[in-house]
A and B are shown apart, each in its own frame.
Chain A
Amino acid sequence: MVYVIIKELSPSADEVIIVTSSLMKDMTSKTDMYRANAIRVLCQITDGTLLTQIERYLKQAIVDKNPVVASAALVSGIHLLQTNPEIVKRWSNEVQEAVQSRAALVQFHALALLHQIRQNDRLAVNKLVSSLTRGSVRSPLAQCLLIRYTSQVIRESASNTQTGDRPFYDFLEGCLRHKAEMVIFEAARAITELNGVTSRELTPAITVLQLFLSSTKPVLRFAAIRTLNKVAMTHPIAVTNCNIDMESLISDQNRSIATLAITTLLKTGNESSVDRLMKQITTFMSDIADEFKIVVIEAIRSLCLKFPLKHRSLMNFLSNILREEGGFEYKKAIVDSIVILIRDIPEAKESGLLHLCEFIEDCEFTYLSTQILHFLGIEGPKTSDPSKYIRYIYNRVHLENATVRAGAVSTLAKFGALVDSLKPRIFVLLRRCLFDTDDEVRDRATLYLNTLGADGAVEDMKEFLFGSLDIPLVNLERSLKNYEPSEESFDINSVPKEVKIQPLAEKKAPGKKPTGLGGPPPGPPSTIDAYEKLLSSIPEFANFGKLFKSSAPVELTEAETEYAVNVVKHIFDGHVVFQYNCTNTIPEQLLENVTVIVDASDAEEFAEVASKPLRSLPYDSPGQTFVAFEKPEGVPAVGKFSNMLRFIVKEVDPSTGEADDDGVEDEYQLEELEVVAADYMLKVGVSNFRNAWESMGPDCERVDEYDLGPRENLAEAVNAVINLLGMQPCEGTEVVPSNSRSHTCLLSGLYIGNVKVLVRLQFGIDGPKDVAMKLAVRSEDEAVSDAIHEIVASG
């Protein structure tokens, strides 16, 4: 008992010498229990020096005859591997011996420890696995471990499925017939998770899982159905044999099992079983909680997209459950599903829209009502008989709260704008809305009546009223704040359209799952906002005008050097400012008066005008220094700049943090940096490329063909051109399907001088990987179109 208490308190080794010395005595005592527990406690409170003292005893303990002692030492070894790996690695001979032990659990622990010691050495792991798969493994836990290691080895060995069976597959398949259920299940799961597994390889695993489905133990049923669910996502056909068993699981006591069964069936079901499935699900839905219901809804949605002919029954099902009780998230999921079905299955549109209309008649969630009204406004006018929906919408104007009423007014106006035949009647209805109690409603009604009622309502008006706002609201807000009242009115086109996506924090994910997006980038915050504030706060740069573009940080030093420097290029109309972000990684140095000497002999059009040094750069706190160049206005000048970091270095006493008074001047060479044409291009996307292309007109169009020479593949060539031009790919055209021989890429951007540019690239790849490209540019200024071609020609 005392041992448990010591472990809980876990003091550090130097605090409790008495405890540790008595524990060390216990380690050599005759009673095995004392030895085992003493080992465990000591290893938890030990540090490096104490560990070397007791190492001898630990090594003896690993090969001790008593399994309790041996297990204690091995498990402690596994924990110690985190903190003192070098010491534990010295025990590998003893651990190897322990793997051959007769005691079941000792083998398990020894195997775990040995694998962890050797896990970076792929060959050693391979050998370990091969010897044990042929030998005998005594405990089911050790067998499970072995199966996991085997899967790892299979994954890492180059998978050539051409050469017949994978290595070790026979071993895994043999495990399916083991006595212990945990081994059978582990083997079945391992087989289903193999990379690129074939149906033939899957069959024995699925058979075993099918047997588990009808077990009396809920744990087995759950484990089996969860694995089958995952398999069904990639190999639905392989799982269809289990359909009957899964259908009986729908009424299982354990709701998790039932939900998993339903979702799996929805993936593996075929068209004929859909009706039967729907009937069963209807009774089932009332039993389960909201969170499960949402899972089922999403499965139904994918099922409907798979079998579009069944849309009628599935749509009826969805609208029925929409009418029942339910929470907001649940109803939102159903509405989203119906909307997606309407969009993707044209035949379902009429019935779907009617279902939605009936729903808003007594929907208690304002958010959903407004969303549906908005959607009706988009889709309704396109149907064959829009007037059907008018009644539903107009009722909203009378019966609901202000938000919904306002939404209804907008929708009515949309109908009126897009369907000429209904216009007079819509106007009558809108006029009645002018007497509403809420001012938003009255404002909207007035707006629509006046703009649409005017003679010759033009396309532009409709675009203005009903077009979508392409600009992210964050950027709009920022630009409005920056806008100062002056002669010029606020230009909405100048609002940057790209959103700097905040990088998500990395998810803790074990082995096989893909990790989340990388952690936040180092260095100063990189929003345009921050840069503008920073630059305008420096008096020398304040009169450069509006910042056009800031590039991403470019490293000017290799990793792990004494001073880490990266540069951000800020492009103004007539100037370029280089912001050097410097970090000093030497604790014993303090840098002062840090400047960058820039040699611009390779960049004739640039002239240095100002430089702002960094007063002090202590250890590990990044700072910025700036150099500004003048360039001819409006011209996209390019050039190479070589950089040298110059500073005064003072020695710092690390313990006190005080710096000497004298310093020595020193220099540090940095890499070159280039200003290229892509720096003058802002990535601005357009949502409808075709419209924009047509409206731009062919006056300033330039078309030319280029031979890009031999390339690795089409995707590489496409990426190279996109990076060269620095423009934004639209409508997902930067993704090149593998093995395609030709590709069209649509790019758009904003050139310096606020000139909109659109580029259409057509790529073709022929036999010996020669890539040819046809470039068509349209912009508002023909000089710019010429410039784009220049860039490509010289790049």
Chain B
Amino acid sequence: ELCPTIKNILLLDSEGKRIAVKYYSDDWPTNAAKEAFEKAVFTKTQKTNARTEAEITMFDNYIVVYKFVQDLHFFVTGGENENEIILATVLQGFFDAVGLLLRGTEDKKEALENLDLILLCLDEIVDGGIILETDANVIAGKVDSHSMDAGAPLSEQTITQALATAREHLTRSLLK
């Protein structure tokens, strides 16, 4: 099977607990297996510093690339023969897209409040293990057009989103 495949993408908090995860492979069939993997990968990378550059490690016959910002930990996992740089590109795409979507405040609280955006984001990057998109701007653009359904009545959006929409309209009209 020659197509580059991603096995999972994880977003954990600074204690190793899940914020948003998506698995694309049957290597972890039960939820217990998944949580064990998350715990293992978190403890292994805890002490390293992956804030400026993406870091990489290998364990259990998987390659994991990861990056941290504030209290968010991003991980992308691939098989041991995968091209590490492709994995890093996917990680960078995910990382930057989340940054764009959370509008600059990249911490756990913001992430949890915008969980729907993050899940959409994960959905737009990889489909069933195959890479869909790696450019952060395109990904964020797709997510945005998802959530802000043109023409959807305001009452369907959540309060925060409604406020955000209102804020944007206001700033736009002020700047005109």
Contact = CB atoms under 8 A, between A and B. Distances in A.
Interface stretch (B34-42, B78-86, B101-109, B167-175): B78-86
Contacts of A256: 56-58
Contacts of A71: 132-133
Contacts of A181: 85
B86 A182 contact: yes
B55 interface: yes
Contacts of B142: 33, 68
Given A1-B147, A33-B146, A218 B83 contact: no
Contact of B55 (A44, A218, A226, A511): A218
Given A144-B86, A148-B2, A75 B53 contact: no
Contact of B54 (A3, A152, A217): A217
B110 interface: no
A510 B82 CA distance: 11
B56 A511 contact: no
A554 interface: no
Interface in A1-35: 1, 3-4, 7, 31, 33
Contacts of B79: 510
Contacts of B132: 71, 75, 105
Interface residues of B, number: 38
Interface residues of B, dominant DSSP: mixed
A22 to B, nearest CB: 15
A182 B89 contact: yes
A544 interface: no
Contacts of B1: 510-511
Contacts of A217: 53-54, 88
Interface in B96-117: 116
Nearest to A193: B81
B161 to A, nearest CB: 12
Contacts, number: 104
A185 B83 contact: yes
B160 interface: no
B166 interface: no
A218 B130 contact: no
B77 interface: no
B33 interface: no
Contact of B85 (A7, A216, A220): A220
Nearest to A112: B3
A4 B85 contact: no
A511 B3 CA distance: 12
Q: Which of B54, B84, B116, B146 has the most CB of A within 10 A?
A: B84
Contacts of B145: 33
A181 B84 CA distance: 11
A33 B58 CA distance: 37
Nearest to A79: B128
Interface in B125-160: 127-128, 130-134, 142, 145-147, 150
B30 interface: no
B2 A141 contact: no
A71 B134 CA distance: 13
B123 interface: yes
Contacts of A78: 3, 130
A223 interface: yes
A75 B120 contact: no
Contact of B57 (A40, A72, A152, A254): A254
Q: Which of A68, A79, A181, A218 has the most CB of B within 10 A?
A: A218
A7 to B, nearest CB: 8
A68 B127 CA distance: 13
Given A217-B53, A219-B54, A256-B57, A510 B81 contact: yes
B120 A1 contact: yes
B116 A218 contact: no
A71 B4 CA distance: 16
A511 B116 contact: no
B48 interface: yes
A108 B56 CA distance: 26
A186 B120 CA distance: 30
A145 B85 contact: no
B77 to A, nearest CB: 14
Interface in A234-256: 253-254, 256
Contacts of A7: 123
A144 B79 CA distance: 16
Nearest to A7: B123
A7 B120 CA distance: 12
A589 to B, nearest CB: 37
A647 B67 CA distance: 70
Contacts of B9: none
Interface string B60-89: 000001000000000000010101111111
A466 interface: no
B127 A75 contact: yes
Contact of B88 (A109, A112, A219): A219
B83 A1 contact: no
Interface in A308-324: none
Contacts of B163: none
Nearest to B89: A182
A575 interface: no
A256 B4 CA distance: 23
A149 interface: yes
B128 A219 contact: no
A189 interface: yes
A219 B127 contact: no
Contacts of B87: 219
A511 B5 CA distance: 14
Nearest to B83: A186
A510 B78 CA distance: 13
B120 A112 contact: no
Contacts of B86: 141, 144, 182
Given A181-B85, A254-B57, A256-B57, A105 B133 contact: yes
A256 B60 CA distance: 13
A215 to B, nearest CB: 10
Nearest to B82: A510
Contacts of B133: 71, 105
A58 to B, nearest CB: 15
Given A185-B85, A220-B85, A144 B53 contact: no
Interface in B1-18: 1-4
A4 B4 CA distance: 23
B131 A1 contact: no
A185 B87 CA distance: 13
A217 B92 CA distance: 13
Contacts of A511: 1-2
A87 B46 CA distance: 48
B83 A189 contact: yes
A115 B119 contact: no
A141 B88 contact: no
Interface string A67-91: 0100110011011000000000000
A222 interface: yes
Given A144-B86, A222-B56, A510-B81, A115 B2 contact: yes
Interface in A246-273: 253-254, 256
Interface string A88-130: 0000000000000000010011001001100000000000000
A4 B119 contact: yes
A7 B87 CA distance: 24
Contacts of B146: 1, 33, 37
A37 B4 CA distance: 22
Interface of B: 1-4, 48-49, 53-58, 65, 79, 81, 83-89, 116, 119-120, 123, 127-128, 130-134, 142, 145-147, 150
Given A141-B134, A148-B2, A219-B88, 17 more contacts: A1-B116, A1-B120, A1-B147, A4-B123, A33-B146, A71-B132, A71-B133, A76-B127, A78-B3, A79-B128, A112-B3, A182-B86, A217-B88, A219-B56, A219-B85, A222-B84, A510-B1
Closest 4 CB pairs of A and B: A182-B85, A223-B84, A219-B88, A148-B2
6 contacts: A144-B86, A148-B2, A186-B85, A220-B85, A222-B84, A223-B85
